[in-house]
Structures are given as structure tokens and as C-alpha cells.
Amino acid sequence: MHGLCVNGKVDEAFGMLKRMENEGIDPDTITFNILIAGLRKQGRFEEGIKLLEEMRGKGCDPNAGSYQEVLYCFLDAQRFVEAKEFMSWMISKGWPEFCIVQGVDSWAVQRKSGAGCGLGFKADDKTRLSSEDGDVEAHPQKHVSEKSSHFCISYEEIVDN
């Protein structure tokens, strides 16, 4: 499935998903993450966002990678208000603000478009997001939740490397 998505054959990957389900094999989080990433890479952002809901509807719990890909869908589509709302929703569900800010920072660095792309988030020493200015700052946090640690990378690592 990953190979199909990487090679731009997302529709074939969805065909494989249907065959799996017809054979009684339930897709897991990784399966959905691969599909969301594949849709995103094809510019099919709306489908990627909807797939997160479908995933939950099938009783499959999204992980940090799922939310990161959906956040990237909003950002790639330049739907910044919805991206901000999605990040606020993530915070309300217990995802560390620090990781969310770094996810945005990582996205911005990948695209060389400037940190935060005008989202106006700022991480203060308490790792709270605010919209006081247009910068995204990341401050070290002593404890990062296990559920999000695999996509939390140090902003300093990005800048230094």
C-alpha cells in the first residue's frame, strides 16, 4: 500500500483497502496514515481530512502521525483558519502544544515558507499557543507525551542542521 501511494497510485491503494476489508482484514492506524499521506501528496486534501473521520468511525484510533498529516493537509491547501481550529481541537484533546507548534514549524521549514506561515501562533514558556504575533517559537519542554514523541523534533535541530 505504501509503495502504491509513494508512486502516485492512491486509487489503487484504496482498491487494496477494499480488498482487505472484503477479506475481513481491518485496516490499522498505519494503513490510514499511509492513505492520508498519499492523498495529501496528490493535492487531494479534502479527501485526506475526511479519511481521518472515516478512520475514527471504523474504530481505528488516530495517532500523532495521523493528526500531523491532516494538519499538513490544511496547511498545504492554505486553509490556515481551519488549521488553527484543528490545532486548538488537538490541544483540547490533550496533545501537547509544543508538539503541535513544532509540527507547524516542521511543515514551514519543509516548504521554506517561513515558520508558521502567518498562523500567528506563539509558544510561551508554558507551551501555550497564542495569536499575539505572526511568529512561531518553540521552547524546550521537559516532558513530552509518549503519544506524540515520534513526530516531535527539536526546532533547534532543524535550524542547526
As beta bridge partners, residue 130 has 122
Check: CB of residue 70 under 8 Å from CB of residue 53: no
Q: What is the pLDDT of residues 22-75, one digit of tens each?
A: 999 999 999 999 999 999 999 998 899 899 989 999 999 888 888 888 888 888
pLDDT in tens, 75-109: 888 888 888 888 788 778 776 655 555 555 555 44
Assigned C-alpha cell, 145 = 507525551
**Burial class of residue 98, CB neighbours in 10 A (0-12, 13-18, 19+):** buried
Query: Closest by alpha carbon to 70, among 57, 58, 53, 88?
Result: 53
